[in-house]
Structure 1
């Protein structure tokens, strides 16, 4: 609470969202996007994203926390939340294997095939199967009607709720009641009542509407796993929310929702990282913290006494040193039922009940190490004696329970797959107390409110509350799981937004979200199709689509991609030029030099094999050339209109700098270029000469191609004599290589009357140079702090307004933060686009060989690499 309002800190927001699970994020996006509201999201955990976040262990294993598999088509809600950018890898066609004491049953994709298999296995009840699925459709409709109704005003809810139950009674029956009414064979009943673990309430207590919606409808058209894991969904969603101006704050504990005269007036918050307490004034709060937590925040928990207690779970996370495919697992989920009646499966001792096992690493093409997750729903009372004790102070009895449960669960896996135990390199068990701590759920509830008929009939179980301006999002507003939580967030938005805004929202939901910006680089995963050693130090890597025949973006010759390399807990990003031609649409290739001690290049050379997927973005860069132009696209200057035959296209490469130039040559050949093209390439030794066969093949397709390859140990460097026959006022140059070489050659080309704006440059940026820049920035910031300097000023020659620059910030970053327009492309010092002239002031910088000695003397620098150490005056 804010104890003294006179001295309290206050902020304001149009809407506050409590919790950053998928329900809270869905409400935040829709209210910001369609309501035009300033939305603040407060998350108690240090990681945003709720159950879509992942954690790592042993420096190698990545584990999801709540999203194990989903519908193969993602559904319109998830399509909307990710703007259609989420990539899904399908699970095997028979995606759920059910193991009963006396028989097994595998669930195939599509409801039609599932029904056919049921009839084949249980022919005596074939007609009853058809009747059961008709009841399933009715129950699903009833659940949806009830949930939408729960988002409407109180008067409509009171009038409509009994009508929905009369029209759709099967939605309100227990699952056990419905299967008993439909079938005589206990095995058939068991098969159709199985997988209740997807929403967490056993058959004798669960409302059939939830069972109809989740295992019998949502998963029936096949299942899939997000490529890159659940955190990729999280990453995309958070990125989109920031685009709509949503403010996201982790480590913020909401202590109370402030209510005056029956309506919301704000929330009291503690920043647990700093201890700061403040109040956010607002008249609209959306709580994605669950119904029980929400009512606790307004001091009305007693109003939920009619709702039955919900189950919790234990989850075992295993890291393996070998693939589970060795045991015949193809990526399907396995369900182990200790009996035909799921009621007993829940009531058994922890470790002996209904067990769900998933193999995320087999279904995620980007997974580097193999993991297994095993989940058993349990009564939260199993840890009551330790509830309330700090995590690092729990007694030995709690650790013994965890060890016993871990051993019991592993034994069940060993029984199914003999030898499995030997593959386990890491094991960790989460208990209801873990979910209380990290999910902040009441008594470790895993799926929110129990999916019971009482919940469907309760006026408190939904997105509306008795307090005006207070709404509930997430699983408790619709149903279980990540997509159920997402739907609950949309129900909250349905209650908050105005009718006209709602029409726009639902039209957008049906269309699947915002269209991708055609000017923005594509981001996603591509599969490594092949690797090839070109020289002892250079490796060529081919990427292809995960599915389909066409790579998902087009590029211009000379551009590059950024690749996330999974070499540590968090991937590192590296940039690599494309060496294949833009006319090839089925794949593209990069060529990577193995740098001594290079973390990224070391992984690509020593560890990467064909098969896995890597996340990348592209295309990037302005070092481009297209057929029909005399020079590359010059960024903000546009495309030159000089004809191909007006001059020479001179391509100069040093070592692996030939990579983007090979793409230029391929584009020229594919485009029927008839002008003069000269390739001057230098390499240190004969063994390091790259692309000889490819260059020879291009000679027949480019009649104007002249090639000169120099081995510097024998012929020396490219100098004035090598350049003079190919240069003049009409020459267009693309130069790429080591920084000292480029600095010298820029000077030579200028001396030979080649216009400076006709010289295009690109430098290779290693991971080590990025680290060096970070170290320089840190040193500059420390020195400024020691001198008592909090900010530098950068003045613009010509009268443009000055802008501030924080110590350690580059000129380019400071300009972007201040909204000052400045030419730019890569931000890494590779392209040379962000040229600025420093007229006065001191600074730290790295020119990357982008300037001649004369240009450096005149003050030309790269804005992205220049760190002021005092006030500067610059000119563009």
Structure 2
């Protein structure tokens, strides 16, 4: 391996699964380390990432459900931002030969249901749950010891096994000790697929921890899917300065004098190889991969110890896209387990396709999902696929693809036997095999849950966070236990093994105090639920959004602000901005107004496809187009001028005035085409009754014969009666209308500093700006131009602007203070006057014709094509 460069980091984290990301955050936050995360895949997040097919179906790769009580670990890791949607109370349905059993949420409910079904075993059931607590305590104690130095592990492991013998027994053994009834044994030994090791060979501590303890408070699914969880974590890591790189294959961990010195890396995107000098490596790549990365530096006894650990299973996973909701088959979002026998003695060694199946319906449990999906998992012995191991995906022979097709048919047959007709609803099907997981995860033989959850693992000094190598620790599932939360816990104990004791103490205190350090922010990001859709006009809808839990909306806003909403119209959502129409005093909902644009992706989705109950990802509030009645103490007239749907933020202003008991003069001039296109008519009537000083005049350009109101456009004569005594003007509407009205108000000598404007940003205009920026960058590169200079008129300030970058972006990059708010041309805050130089721009109707002639432009929309001279100001 020829190295082309050398870098340095305080800690290198190998792998970006939840364990690696958890360790990275803790080391950066509490250890103030420079952390570099290297991920071999092209996507960060490990088993929390998603993939899409056919432009509509989205599938999770490993996270199907989790405890409804996310607990302190996940709450801390997401800064309390994780949003979970509960599964039904009866969340797991177990299908055995001849009978079914439904697992309810809640430990006491589960216990009561078991006693009701098996009254003769009531006392045994109570004893069993006490044993579960003991086994869980034994597992936690052992895992904490695994993060401690070798002498402590050597002394502590045997003591733990003596104190907590149930932790080390197999589930089959524990069930035989606990119960007489084979059906009861089967029910309580089931769901071993949550950690991957069957009852005859697993360690009961893992069984006690995962299906019997973690899920007893109920289960939930991340709103927005696993990716939503991933996004939050990655955003927080960037805030702490963690560097994240994808497609980076770590080839070797380099030791010097018995301790970590560096890692050697191949950049799979470019083929470049480099070395990162570091005193500490946190490997979230699994125990087997970690010791393999040591190559010849690994001691023979370490290799033997790892090789002697029991083999772990892999899985086949069938991803199905449906053309109708699974609810049509009587499903409500619960998971279904199909057990081929009572004892589970065959584990994952049955004929492929005939083993234990887990079936989940993620789209029913994710209110943000637009299209319906089903995921089917069967744990299998990876040896069944050994004959094709090492072959590239696009070169595997026909017999491999024939096997995949046969397995797909077999699994679908089993689903159709249970839910007749579901086969006909399948519009897409794709099967992943152990080779798929090996390719994308780089796990040994496609291991699905890391090391097998066996007593041998519990006894192994190498199966845990600590390693015999100074500076090398293991994170993730192999450091604690299976699943996303288990991997997260493994990342925390790995971080604790690297941090100093005082830093580790601060970390744990902060986690369990449930008051993580949060970055101050003026915006909120998360999901809100659609609870009401109302047609205001033939082309305008009012949409009400509420908190997912039905409580108070998780942010406050000022009258006149807007929200950005991600709309699921394609594989990747598109972001659109919509003004808030409800008043700030409405604490349990927020409303937006949306006009249908026949060729607009966002508005057509909101008009044609949006359904009540759907969750939308929202960020905000944004904008300086605001009015606060508490600060409006100067008297005078508040003049509000709207064109069409531009009335939306002004309705919020009027609601704020009414809630505050405002008695001053307010004038609303609204322009529309026809009478049936007047939005918010009912709201305006109600507001007039609450605001004695409110005057409303509606102007129609195409009035009907019975129209009694004003006719024509809002012109000079229409404005003249209302400008005397005006102290503040809010103007919102189509760009040409705003440009004309700004000129008229200037002609009427309304001071410019009283005028406040807001424009609507469409997806087409945003895309057009990006296309212009790309074209400018390409043209500059062809001309050999590497950048432009932007200078103040007096040359006191200059800064560089790369071709294709806006004036505002260049100023921000150079840390030049600029007034700004939205960054997308909606608010008009970033006014700048161009004195010389050429550029391309979009004024968005924020200026009158005279102001445009004077050179006033929006910095966020202006793309230089040569050096510019500017002035900043109002």
Q: TM-score, normalised by structure 1?
A: 0.96
801 and 288 in structure 1: CA distance in 2 versus 1, 3 angstrom threshold: farther
| Cα deviations by residue, 1:792-818 (Å, 9 ceiling, x for unpaired) | 222234555432222111111122223
CA distance in 2, matches of 1:626, 1:825: 17
1:124 matched to 2:124? The reply is no
In the alignment, structure 1 residue 68 sits paired with structure 2 residue 64: yes
Maintained 8 Å contact 2:314/2:380: yes
Q: Secondary structure at the match of 2:345?
A: helix
Match of 2:224 among 228, 235, 248: 228
Does residue 1:393 correspond to 2:395, yes or no?
yes
Is the 1:13–1:280 Cα contact (8 Å) retained in structure 2? yes
| Alpha-carbon distance between aligned partners in 2 of 1:407 and 1:781, rounded to the nearest angstrom | 51
Q: Is 2:805 the counterpart of 1:809?
A: yes
* Match among 837, 840, 845 for residue 841 of structure 2: 845
Counterpart of 2:237 in structure 1 is 241
SS of alignment partner, residue 738 of structure 2: helix
Aligned counterparts of 1:420 and 1:869: Cα–Cα separation in 2? 58
Aligned to 1:474: 476
3-state SS of the aligned residue for 1:310?
Answer: coil
- Tell me the residue number matched to 1:566: 568
8 Å Cα contact 2:639-2:726 kept in structure 1: no
Deviation at 1:264, TM superposition (A): 1.0
Aligned to 2:525, the other structure's residue is in SS state strand
Q: What is aligned with 2:260?
A: 264
Quote how far apart the aligned CAs of 1:751 are: 2.7
| Cα contact 2:135–2:164 (8 A) shared by 1 | yes
* SS of corresponding position for 2:829: coil
Matches within 5 A, 1:518-667: 519-630=521-632, 642-643=633-634, 646-667=635-656
Q: Does the alignment pair 1:818 with 2:826?
A: no
- 1:305 pairs with one of 300, 307, 316: 307
Residues 428 and 75 (structure 1), Cα distance of their counterparts in 2 relative to 1, 3 Å cut: same
Alignment of 1:400-439 (within 5 A): 400-439=402-441
Conserved? CA contact 1:173–1:207, under 8 Å: yes
| C-alpha distance in structure 2 between counterparts of 1:406 and 1:779, whole Å | 47
Q: 1:377 & 1:777 partners in 2: Cα distance? A: 50
Partner residue, 1:134: 130
Equivalent position of 1:488 in the other structure: 490
Count of residue pairs brought into register by the alignment: 859
Partner of 1:455: 457
Cα offset for 1:538? 1.2
Residue 273 of structure 1 corresponds to which residue in structure 2? Answer: 269
Q: Does 1:208 align with 2:204?
A: yes
Residue in 1 that maps onto 2:663:
674
Match of 1:101 in 2: 97
Picking from 674, 699, 702, the partner of 1:685 is: 674
Give the Cα separation in 2 of the matches to 1:670 and 1:166. 68
- Greater mean deviation of Cα atoms: 469-478 or 722-731: 722-731
What secondary structure, in the 3-state scheme, does the structure 2 residue paired with 1:700 have? helix
Unaligned residue ranges in structure 2 (runs of 5+): 704-710
Which stretch shows the higher mean deviation, 518-527 or 646-655? 518-527
Q: CA deviation at 1:135?
A: 1.1
Q: Deviations over 1:18-73 (max 9, x none)?
A: 11100000000000000001111111101110000011111111100000000001
Using the TM superposition, give the Cα deviation of residue 425 of structure 1 relative to its aligned residue in structure 2, in angstroms. 0.8
**What is the DSSP-based 3-state SS (H/G/I as helix, E as strand, rest coil) of the residue aligned with 2:860?**
helix
Residue 76 to residue 798, structure 1, CA distance change in 2 (3 Å): farther
Tell me the equivalent position of 1:832: 828
Partner SS state of residue 731, structure 1: strand
CA distance in 2, matches of 1:358, 1:528: 24
Q: What secondary structure sits across from 1:238 in the alignment?
A: helix
Aligned equivalents of 2:545 and 2:668: distance in 1? 26
CA–CA distance in 1 between the matches of 2:519 and 2:256? 44
Residues 35 and 217 from structure 1, CA distance in 2 versus in 1: closer, same or farther, beyond 3 angstroms? same
Distance (Å, rounded) in 2 between the aligned partners of 1:866 and 1:793:
14
For structure 1, the 5+ residue unaligned runs are 631-641
What is the CA distance between 1:130 and its match in structure 2? 1.2
Rounded to whole Å, the distance in 1 between the matches of 2:795 and 2:154 is 67
Contact conserved, 2:199 with 2:347, CA < 8 A, in 1?
no
Deviations 1:225-272 (A, max 9, x none): 111100000011001110000111111111111111111111111111
Provide the residue aligned with 1:761 in structure 2.
757
Determine if contact 1:728/1:752 at 8 Å carries over to the other structure.
no
Tell me the distance in 2 between the aligned counterparts of 1:269 and 1:517: 33
Partner of 2:26: 30
User: Is the CA contact (8 Å cut-off) linking 1:729 and 1:754 kept in structure 2?
Assistant: no
In 2, the alpha carbon distance for the partners of 1:296 and 1:517 equals 39
Q: Which residue of 2 aligns with 1:723?
A: 719
> Could you tell me whether the CA contact under 8 Å between 2:637 and 2:725 is conserved in 1?
no
Question: In the aligned structure 1, how far is the partner of 2:497 from the partner of 2:799?
Answer: 43
- Residue 780 of structure 1 is matched in structure 2 by 776
The answer on 1:789 being equivalent to 2:785 is yes
Query: 1:720-756: CA deviations, max 9, x gaps?
Result: 2222222246421000011122122222222323221
**Separation of aligned partners in 1, 2:28 and 2:517:** 17
1:154-177 C-alpha deviation (Å, 9 max, x unpaired): 222222121111111111111111
Cα distance in 1 for partners of 2:305, 2:839 equals 64
Residue among 74, 81, 95 paired with 1:78: 74
Please list, as runs of the form range in 1=range in 2, the aligned pairs for 1:854-865 lying within 5 A after superposition.
854-865=850-861
SS in 1 for 2:761: coil
1-structure distance, mates of 2:785, 2:37:
33
3-state SS of 1:539 partner: strand
Secondary structure (helix, strand or coil) at the match of 1:668 reads helix
Give the Å deviation of 1:518.
Answer: 5.9
Check conservation: 2:313, 2:348, Cα contact below 8 A: no
Please list the CA deviations of residues 455-495 of structure 1 after superposition, one character each: whole Å capped at 9, or x if unmatched.
01111101111211111100000000111000000011010
Contact residue 728 and residue 753 of structure 1 kept, 8 A:
no
Aligned to 2:367: 365
Aligned-pair CA distance for 1:305: 2.0
Contact 1:313/1:446 (8 A) holds in 2: yes
Deviations 1:535-563 (A, max 9, x none): 22211111122223322222111011111
What SS class does the counterpart of residue 346 from structure 2 fall into? helix
Given the alignment, which residue of 682, 696, 701 partners 1:712? 701
Aligned partners of 1:829 and 1:864 also within 8 Å:
yes
User: Tell me, what secondary structure is at the counterpart of 1:105?
Assistant: strand
The farther-off stretch of 787-796 and 85-94 is 787-796
What is the aligned-residue RMSD (CA, Å)? 1.4
